[in-house]
Structure 1
């Protein structure tokens, strides 16, 4: 995970998702899960799709999305 020095206080981050890491484009504290809409704190973000450029709150949600 590559992060800028500035941080957004309680705001949604904008990320670019790569195959092994994500890059912060706009600082923030969380992203919204593409499947559930649940906020996922950046320090807890473990699942995303580089192809779809989407974050997921859990492995189960990621698997469901990628199975479509």
Structure 2
């Protein structure tokens, strides 16, 4: 049976230069803002925290402990 991953939250394992998709889906949520991030637009994440960020600014503030 084929599964449609549109409008489903994906589960990812974040690695230093890429991520591995653990469950089907087309987006993740920003750990800080809760914004939806399409997998094709995902650019910022923390390997240590295993969380995604919607922008470079949000990622920087989170990693500096400001968020």
Task: Output the TM-score relative to the length of structure 2.
Answer: 0.90
The residue number in structure 2 matching 1:39 is 36
CA RMSD of aligned residues (A): 1.0
Where in structure 1 are there 5+ consecutive unaligned residues? 1-5
> Which runs of at least 4 in structure 1 moved beyond 2 Å after TM superposition?
none
Unaligned runs of 5+ in 2: none
2:64 pairs with 1:67: yes
2:16 paired residue among 16, 19, 24: 19
Name 2:27's counterpart in structure 1: 30
Contact 1:7 1:29 in 2 (8 A): no
Aligned residues: 63
Rg (Cα) greater in structure? 2
Q: Alpha-carbon deviation of 1:7? A: 5.1
